[in-house]
Amino acid sequence: ICARTDEGPICLFSEGNEFPVHLLEGNLNGGFALEWSSFGILSGDFNGNAFYWPDNSKVQTLNYGSNIEDIKIVEKDLAVIVGDNGFMSFWDLRTNSIVYQADISGHEKREVYSVSVNPSQNQLLLTGGEDEAVKIWDRRNLSAQLHKF
């Protein structure tokens, strides 16, 4: 089990253990964004910092510049970040840089709270925002949503 705290560290728990078996340091602030995949652990904080642990020791950081609400792995070396700025940004984990950023302010109140990657077709993404809408996007063309629920 992977969990985060208001103070920052990411806690890794083993089944049956009441206390963390490992702490991933790096986060200094609270936040909601957390992703654990076979490629590593990602998190984002309220100060706009993104963190990536490809293994349990070294951390890679990116200053995103805006509150990060959610972060997900898209494919092996690519993550997607959404937050208060109304953008969907793609973080290249190899070069530690934002390689593409799209204004998805189709969420009328700008803040995007969540993102999810389709496990079968990773070009399809879902977002949820402050406007209480869920939207489907194709990352090959983010100029307009495919569908709004």
Cβ-contact 25, 39 below 8 angstroms: no
pLDDT digits (tens, 9 = 90+) for 32-71: 899 999 899 999 988 899 999 987 667 889 999 899 999 9
- The pTM (predicted TM-score) of the whole model is 0.90
Residues in the chain: 149
Query: Secondary structure of the chain: what % helix, strand, coil (to 5)?
Result: 0, 50, 50
pLDDT digits (tens, 9 = 90+) for 25-41: 877 778 889 999 989 99
Q: Please state, in angstroms and as integers, the Cα–Cα distance from residue 4 to each residue in 24, 31, 96, 104, 119, following that order.
A: 9, 8, 22, 27, 24
pLDDT at 94 exceeding the cut of 90: yes
Q: Structure tokens of 106?
A: 């189709």
Cβ-contact 127, 115 below 8 angstroms: yes
pLDDT digits (tens, 9 = 90+) for 101-131: 998 866 666 789 999 999 999 999 999 988 8
